[in-house]
Chains A and B, each alone.
Chain A
Amino acid sequence: MKTIFESSVTGREGCWPCDGMAEETYIPKELLRGGEIGLPSASELDVVRHFTKLSQRNYGVDGNFYPLGSCTMKYNPNSLKSWLACPVHAPASGTAAIAGRGRTLSGRARSHVRNRAAAGRDHRHGRLHHAPHGRGARRTDRRHAHGRLPQGQGQQENQGHRARLRARHQPCIRRHRRI
């Protein structure tokens, strides 16, 4: 099996999380490194194939019967990985705690979570290894943002005027996330 270095072609990129290229480096030349680094650069397809093939060379839980380690899986099921990668689940980071203002999930964010889970889409981005049994959550709940059901569906469940005001004024802390 080839190493990733053997599958790379100089200049290839698998994804583009940021646009543009800054020309100036702002850092004086004597503090910069010289020459090429020699890191692999492969297309996304090559990377996915490489790591999938590599994982299949090992006897593992994703491909075969593996009766050990189920205790770990009960606390960390594979399907939770992409769900947790969804940025909506994250309250403000630790810096807020340092500043003495820890925030938790607001009501609005929670409905987003329900909505996302119900839709079963979107949180699949970023998964490179598709487990054969991985499935999104079922559409159990069709509430959208602000925790209200869409029009014409169970109107009696929609709260009154006060609750609507409460939902609108709850702050939504979006965390700026570095990937």
Chain B
Amino acid sequence: MDCANASVYDGGTALYEALMMAVRKTKRRKVVVSEALNPIYRVMLDSYTTNLDIELVTVPHKDGMTDIEGIKAAIDSDTAALLVQNPNFFGSINDFTDLFSAAREKKAVSIISSYPVLQTLLKTPGEMGADIAVAEGQSLGLPLSFGGPYLGIMTCTKKMVRQIPGRIVGRTEDTKGRTGYVLTLQAREQHIRRQRATSNICSNQSLCALRALVHICTLGEQGLKRAARLSVERAHLCAERLTAIDGVEMLTKGPFGNEFAVNLPVNAYDAIAKLTERGFIPGFPLGRYYEGLDNGLLVACTEKTSEEQIGIFAEMLKGRSNEDDIRIIRNRT
């Protein structure tokens, strides 16, 4: 991607701002959203666009995968943008190059929400031909902190740079040939254009962005790749252990990164409640946002997930667990 701004509040806000960039650029009113996009972000998009004249068309997921054909079919001459996520909410990974070229033909803007940790491994939005790429930067060294503050990362191609909100820093040279940095393209912003500004967002998450930057610099390229690869490996190990249990099946078909969804033989809420009582939070219940997936549990593993924790999780889910084992995880976590 050619340009990034100095951050917005979080991934959901970044997605909404990207949507508005597309609407302003194309002057169209319809937006195609994949149902496999994070449901919390979709709730945010709904709230933001309730009183705006924007139609959100949701294309249902197909078995936990993003329905690429469905999205292609939903794009028409009135579509401003399409929104997809890679890896999607169920964890599965796709290559959207075809989808984005189809969107380009219809002059719709391609917006992708990605996951920065896995982006060190996966095909980049630039390689796929996206116009705008947004991400939630919390995984880059920021603590969970009960929902904030988080870090919204926004990037776009040179063609969209006049529409992107937030601060942009440009690099230039002075008369003596020394490199200098300057806040540029300020004619987009509120203090110049007042009510005609491209966006009303004027604050950013510089402190969080700084923390993410320090995290990246300290880990380095090798460290980040290692963290990503280990997360993927642990997730696959966890998936193996869980699907070995009778009645538990993979909901996520196809290749996945460090997140995956499983179908439990019981209601996911009950399973989570039982495990939470023992001090172990296993994952996210899909039934909360997806109809018909009441038994679905979304599990994520990171490089900090030990094989011990995976083993104990599997045993707890089976219903056979030992007080001693649980004390082990508690003392080591």
Contacts and interface: CB of A to CB of B under 8 A. Distances in A.
A128 B214 contact: yes
A60 B142 CA distance: 23
Given A30-B95, A41-B222, A51-B214, A176 B273 contact: no
Contacts of A166: none
A99 B276 contact: yes
Contacts of A15: 218-219, 223
B93 interface: yes
Is the interface on chain A under 10, 10 to 19, 20 to 34, or 35 or more residues?
35 or more
A177 interface: yes
A160 to B, nearest CB: 26
B11 interface: no
Given A17-B303, A33-B121, A93 B281 contact: yes
Interface stretch (A6-14, A134-142, A151-159): A6-14
B305 A25 contact: no
B229 A22 contact: yes
B241 interface: no
Interface in A23-69: 24-28, 30-34, 36-42, 44, 47, 50-51
Nearest to A34: B127
A98 interface: yes
A8 to B, nearest CB: 7
A33 B257 CA distance: 14
A172 B330 contact: yes
A73 interface: no
B218 A44 contact: yes
B216 A93 contact: no
Interface residues of B, number: 55
With most chain B CB atoms within 10 A of its CB, the pick from A17, A42, A90, A173 is: A17
Contacts of A32: 121-123
A176 B333 CA distance: 6
Q: Secondary structure of the A side of the interface?
A: loop
Given A26-B255, A33-B124, A174 B279 contact: yes
Contact of A25 (B141, B217, B229, B304): B229
A177 B224 contact: no
Contacts of B227: 17-18
B284 A37 contact: no
A179 interface: yes
A100 interface: yes
Nearest to A23: B229
Contacts of B233: 22, 24, 26
A2 B302 CA distance: 34
B146 A94 contact: yes
Interface in B117-163: 119-124, 127, 139, 141, 143-144, 146-147
A33 B122 contact: yes
B213 to A, nearest CB: 8
A125 interface: no
A130 to B, nearest CB: 14
Interface in B194-213: 210
B255 A28 contact: yes
29 contacts: A8-B220, A11-B222, A13-B223, A14-B218, A22-B226, A22-B233, A26-B232, A31-B94, A31-B123, A32-B122, A33-B127, A39-B216, A39-B221, A40-B220, A41-B222, A42-B218, A94-B144, A95-B281, A95-B283, A98-B284, A99-B281, A101-B273, A101-B276, A172-B330, A173-B279, A176-B304, A176-B305, A178-B144, A179-B143
Q: List the 8 shortest-distance A-B pairs measured between CB atoms, nearest first.
A: A41-B220, A14-B218, A22-B233, A18-B303, A22-B229, A99-B272, A174-B333, A39-B221
Interface of B: 93-95, 119-124, 127, 139, 141, 143-144, 146-147, 210, 214, 216-224, 226-227, 229-230, 232-233, 236, 255, 257, 269, 272-273, 276-277, 279, 281, 283-285, 288, 302-305, 309, 329-330, 333
Given A27-B232, A51-B214, A94-B146, 10 more contacts: A22-B226, A25-B229, A30-B95, A44-B218, A50-B217, A90-B144, A95-B284, A128-B214, A174-B279, A176-B304
